[in-house]
Chain A
Amino acid sequence: MSETRKLRVATTSLAGCFGCHMSLLDMDERLFQLLEHIEFDRSPLTDIKHCGPCDIGIVEGGICNAENVHVLREFRKNCKILIALGACAVTGGLPAQRNHLDLGACLQEVYLTEPGLSHGLIPNDPELPLPLDKVHPLHEVVKVDYFIPGCPPSGEAIWTFLTDLLAGRSPHLGHGLIKYD
Chain B
Amino acid sequence: MTATPAMSPQPPAATTATFQLDGREVPFNEGQTIIQAALAAGRYIPHLCYHPEFKPHGSCKLCTVKVNGRPAASCTLPAQAGLVVESDTEELNGLRRTLVQMLFAEGNHFCPSCEKSGNCTLQALGYDLGVMTAGFRHFFPDRPVDASHPDILLDFNRCILCELCVRASCEVDGKCVFALSGRGQTKHLVVNAASGRLADTDADLADKAMEVCPVGVIIKKRVGFAQPIGQRRYDARPISAQALEDAPRPGAGSPGCAACEEGG
Using a CB–CB cutoff of 8 Å, the interface residues on chain A facing chain B are: 84, 87, 90-94, 96-97, 99-100, 134, 136-137, 139-140, 144, 146-149, 151, 172-173, 175-176, 178-181
Q: List 5 A-B contacts (CB under 8 A).
A: A97-B113, A151-B112, A173-B130, A175-B127, A176-B235
Q: Given that A92-B140, A100-B142, A140-B137 are contacting pairs, would A178 and B130 also be in contact in the complex, using a CB cutoff of 8 Å?
A: yes
CB distance from B94 to the nearest CB of A (A): 15
CA distance A172 to B126 in the complex (A): 14
B133 contacts A180, C-beta separation under 8 Å: no
**Which residues of B lie under 8 Å from residue A87 when comparing CB positions?**
110-112
CA distance A151 to B118 in the complex (A): 13
**Most chain A Cβ neighbours within 10 Å, of B112, B128, B140:** B112
Residue of B109, B113, B118, B130 near A94 (CB, 8 A) is: B113
CB distance from A147 to the nearest CB of B (A): 4
CB distance from B29 to the nearest CB of A (A): 33
Q: Given that A92-B140, A140-B137 are contacting pairs, would A181 and B112 also be in contact in the complex, using a CB cutoff of 8 Å?
A: yes
Within 8 A of A (CB), among B122-148: 123, 126-128, 130, 132-135, 137-138, 140-143
Using a CB–CB cutoff of 8 Å, the interface residues on chain B facing chain A are: 104, 108-114, 117-118, 123, 126-128, 130, 132-135, 137-138, 140-143, 229, 235, 237-238
**Which residues of A lie under 8 Å from residue B140 when comparing CB positions?**
92, 96, 99-100, 134
**Which residues of A lie under 8 Å from residue B138 when comparing CB positions?**
91-92, 96, 136-137, 140
CA distance A12 to B225 in the complex (A): 31
CB distance from B225 to the nearest CB of A (A): 11
**Which residues of A lie under 8 Å from residue B135 when comparing CB positions?**
139
B141 contacts A84, C-beta separation under 8 Å: no
**Which residues of A lie under 8 Å from residue B126 when comparing CB positions?**
180
CA distance A178 to B130 in the complex (A): 8
Residue of A93, A134, A144, A147 near B110 (CB, 8 A) is: A93
Q: Given that A137-B138, A175-B127 are contacting pairs, would A181 and B132 also be in contact in the complex, using a CB cutoff of 8 Å?
A: no
CA distance A137 to B143 in the complex (A): 20
CA distance A149 to B110 in the complex (A): 12
A94 contacts B127, C-beta separation under 8 Å: no
CA distance A91 to B170 in the complex (A): 35
**Most chain A Cβ neighbours within 10 Å, of B109, B113, B138:** B138
CA distance A137 to B138 in the complex (A): 8
CB distance from B131 to the nearest CB of A (A): 8
CA distance A111 to B114 in the complex (A): 28
B130 contacts A181, C-beta separation under 8 Å: no
**Most chain A Cβ neighbours within 10 Å, of B111, B114, B128, B238:** B111
CA distance A85 to B137 in the complex (A): 18
B110 contacts A97, C-beta separation under 8 Å: yes
**Most chain A Cβ neighbours within 10 Å, of B104, B118, B133:** B133
Given contacts A87-B111, A96-B138, A175-B237, 18 further A-B contacts (CB under 8 A): A87-B112, A91-B110, A91-B138, A92-B140, A100-B108, A100-B140, A137-B134, A148-B132, A149-B132, A151-B111, A151-B112, A172-B130, A173-B132, A175-B128, A180-B111, A180-B117, A181-B112, A181-B229
- Smallest Cβ-Cβ distance to B117: which chain A residue: A181
